[in-house]
């Protein structure tokens, strides 16, 4: 499979890179994205392609199920937290977007799990961040099928991630000051629809 990557790189190097060389050389010196996005690592959801963006326009933080952990300093989940801190305090992005999506394997695993967390695995522990979203969805009487509940949890988890973003002091102070806003959206890869779920401009 490495041959496929090498051939793709050659097309990029001889095509896109040459056509956009001046801009890419400028980006090599400094990046100034105005948007940070928390997206799932799902191979079918590529923010750059989805939003038709050029290199340097968006700072993407990818993890399983596009979850944002709450602020804490004990040593857990710091990959996402560190990237957020860099985007907000160093790059000074103006917007943070949480992008949920349909057919999310992480959310499906959460919804189909009986509640037991495997101590020798990482997925269950990470997905436990969305446990409250699962609880909220399971309490709804309007959702009749497992697929409806999974779909609802994918959207509900985005709201909890937005809430968790506000637990970071350097995010809250910027939202309070009006220099940063938080947005949640959901991409349905089955039909190409994008739905805006929530927005936080102030507490």
pLDDT in tens, 90-114: 999 999 999 999 999 999 999 998 7
User: Helix, strand, or coil here: 45?
Assistant: coil
Question: Would you please indicate which residues are annotated as catalytic (active-site) residues?
Answer: 40, 42, 44, 101, 104
List the CATH code of the domain at 31-200: 3.40.1050.10
Q: Is the pLDDT of residue 167 over 80?
A: yes
Which residue would you say has higher pLDDT here, 1 or 2?
A: 2
At 156, give phi and psi (nearest 5°). -65, -35
Residues 29 and 31: their CA atoms lie apart, in Å, by: 7
pLDDT in tens, 52-89: 999 999 999 999 999 999 998 887 778 999 999 999 99
Q: Is the pLDDT of residue 203 over 60?
A: no
Residues near 39 by Cβ (< 8 Å), separated by ≥ 6?
45, 47, 60, 61, 62, 66, 99
Question: What's the whole-model pTM score?
Answer: 0.93
**For residue 45, what pLDDT is reported?**
96
């Amino acid at each position: 499979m490495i041959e496929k990557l090498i051939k793709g790189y050659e097309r990029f190097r001889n095509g896109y890179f040459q056509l956009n060389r001046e801009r890419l050389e400028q980006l090599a010196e400094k990046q100034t994205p105005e948007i940070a996005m928390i997206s799932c690592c799902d191979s079918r959801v590529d923010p750059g392609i989805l939003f038709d963006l050029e290199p340097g326009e968006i700072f993407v933080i990818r993890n399983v199920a596009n979850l944002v952990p709450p602020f804490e300093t004990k040593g857990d989940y710091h990959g996402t937290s560190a990237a957020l801190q860099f985007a907000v305090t160093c790059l000074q992005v103006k917007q943070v977007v949480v992008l949920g999506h349909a057919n999310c394997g992480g959310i499906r695993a959460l919804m189909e799990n009986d509640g037991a967390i495997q101590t020798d695995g990482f997925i269950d522990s990470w997905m436990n961040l969305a446990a409250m979203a699962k609880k909220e969805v399971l309490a709804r009487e309007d959702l009749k099928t497992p697929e409806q509940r999974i779909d609802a949890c994918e959207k509900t988890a985005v709201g909890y991630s937005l809430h968790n973003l506000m637990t970071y002091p350097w995010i809250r102070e910027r939202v309070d000051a009006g220099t940063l806003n938080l947005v949640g959206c959901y991409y349905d890869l089955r039909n190409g629809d994008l739905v805006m779920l929530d927005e936080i401009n102030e507490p």
